[in-house]
């Protein structure tokens, strides 16, 4: 069962400049940053608030590390802006399978590793009224996050 909006992903050309905009304009601070080589992005998670299910809601700022990444291709076509919306779930595998059973294309056969050690998958935007949709199961609080930059 989807429990919250986990994050809204925003594609940008210059991560540092975009982080500074959100800091100066809204007072949002970077909660977490990392480079995800598999996804080809450098990212910053700006925590907006905590949620009733123990998770949080974030803005995820994404700068491609290579032109052939999904975010790099999207930026080349669309420019900066909202890239996707992500919903939190306790069971990304089960929810992805249930949604697949309703005729929505799930882009990964098996969930992949996302931000902060989460497990993620995406739903095809053509099946979701033009919105690239991500499903996220957060890593347990005790997960080793030694590679995390705060």
Q: Which positions are catalytic?
A: 7, 43, 60, 84, 134
Element housing 34 (H / E): strand 30-36
* Helix H or strand E segment including 46: strand 41-50
Q: Which tokens in the block code for residue 17?
A: 């400049």
Residues 6+ apart with CB under 8 A from 23: 29, 30
The alpha-carbon radius of gyration of the chain (Å, integer) is 15
* Backbone angles phi and psi of 123, in degrees to 5: -110, 145
Helix (H) and strand (E) counts for the chain? 3, 8
What is the rounded CA–CA span in Å between residue 125 and residue 121? 13
């Amino acid at each position: 069962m989807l429990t919250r909006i986990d994050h809204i992903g925003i594609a940008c050309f210059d991560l540092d400049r975009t982080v500074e905009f959100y800091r100066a304009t809204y007072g949002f601070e970077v909660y977490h940053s990392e480079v995800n080589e598999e996804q080809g992005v450098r990212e910053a998670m700006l925590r907006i608030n905590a949620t009733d299910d123990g998770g949080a809601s974030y803005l995820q700022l994404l700068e491609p590390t290579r032109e052939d990444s999904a975010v790099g291709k999207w930026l080349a076509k669309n420019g900066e802006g909202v890239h996707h919306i992500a919903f939190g779930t306790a069971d990304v595998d089960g929810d992805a399978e249930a949604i697949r059973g309703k005729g929505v294309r799930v882009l990964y056969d098996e969930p992949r590793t996302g931000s902060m050690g989460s497990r993620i998958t995406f739903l095809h935007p053509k099946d979701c009224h033009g919105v690239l949709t991500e499903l996220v199961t957060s890593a347990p609080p005790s997960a080793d996050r030694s590679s995390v930059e705060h």
